[in-house]
Copies of this chain bind each other. A is one copy, B any other.
Amino acid sequence: MCLLVVCLGSPYLVGHKCIPPVPGLDNGPNIVTAKTLNDHLNWRYATKKMDASKTVPQDKVNAIIEAVRLAPTSSGTQPFELIVVTNPEIRAQISEAAMGQAQITDGSHLLVFAAWDTYTEDRIDAVTQLNVAARGDLPLIHGYYDNLKANYLPREAEVNYAHAARQAYIALGIALVAAAEQEVDSTPMEGFSSDAVDSILGLRERGLRSVVLMPLGYREEAGDWLLPMPKVRKSRESMVTEVA
């Protein structure tokens, strides 16, 4: 690696951001190796204890939300919504529905990925219109989404929901990277009652079902039993087969 990141005009590099001079700190040159995706993946971990006194700044939350918005999905349907919960009472209720997992309340933001409960004509038509608005009123677009409707609309809602939920997991993976890039800690969580969370947030009425939670915050280093433990991953040999 020969990559360097240099701050011009501001002396400190924190993560990928340059910050103004800090009194009392050495203002020497700031040249560090740029972080790669795999650096971010190695840095992140499923934070077990968040520092309740810290709040993730809005610009970092925005960058994470933007990554979710840009995440690719099947046929560009983006068949999920993102609920960003900061309200402490609502987060307390959701924490109760998630076996009391305290990252939900100790973090400052909770992302709830909520998938469409099914594909509907209106939903796919709205995607079609978005495509037409951006790319022109092309027969190709109409043909593509007419075909999609012919395939999706007759299917059972549960099949469509399962498909939509998978797309939310693409965005979850990307959001976990986005948080790491922002040096924000996060915890992907499946251990919760989706019925309860749907009820707390009024999701079913909107045709949505909660799929996975992702609290955002900052690790409390002294209180997090997982932090000092090494990351555990299978070897490449044990999970990758090459067919050459």
Q: How far, in angstroms, from A88 to B71 measured CA to CA in the complex?
A: 30
Which residues of A, 190-224, contact B by the 8 Å Cβ criterion?
A: 190, 201
Of the four ranges (under 10, 10 to 19, 20 to 34, 35 or more), the interface on chain A belongs to 35 or more
Query: Pick the contact of A170 from B5, B66, B173 — CB < 8 Å?
Result: B173
Instruction: Determine if A131 is an interface residue (Cβ-Cβ < 8 Å).
Output: yes
Q: 1/0 contact trace for A217-244 toward B, CB 8 Å?
A: 0000000000001111110100111111
Tell me the A70-97 residues at the B interface (CB within 8 Å): 70-72, 74, 76, 78, 80-87, 90
Q: Provide the bound-state CA to CA distance between A36 and B181, in Å.
A: 8
| B181 & A241 in contact (Cβ 8 Å cutoff) | no
Q: Once the chains bind, are A16 and B2 in contact (CB under 8 Å)? A: no
Pick from B44, B84, B171, B234: contact of A69, CB under 8 Å: B234
Which residues from chain B contact A188 at a C-beta distance below 8 Å?
72, 74, 170
Decide if A165 is an interface residue (CB 8 Å cutoff): yes
Does A52 touch B at the CB level, under 8 Å? no
Q: Is A4 an interface residue (CB 8 A)?
A: yes
Which residues of A, 129-180, contact B by the 8 Å Cβ criterion? 130-131, 134-135, 162, 165-167, 169-174, 176-178
Minimum CB–CB distance from A119 to chain B (whole Å) comes to: 14
Closest CB-CB distance, A127 to chain B, in whole Å?
8
How far in angstroms is the closest Cβ of chain B from A172?
6
Residues of B within 8 A of A5 (CB): 3-5, 34
Most chain B beta-carbon contacts within 10 A, residue among A63, A190, A241 = A241
CA A25 to CA B182, docked complex, whole Å: 36
B69 contacts A240, C-beta separation under 8 Å: yes
How distant is A226 from chain B, measured CB to nearest CB, in Å? Answer: 9
Complex interface: chain B residues within 8 A of A53 (CB): none
Quote the shortest CB–CB distance from A43 to chain B (angstroms). Answer: 10
> CB within 8 A of A82: which of B71, B74, B87, B241?
B241
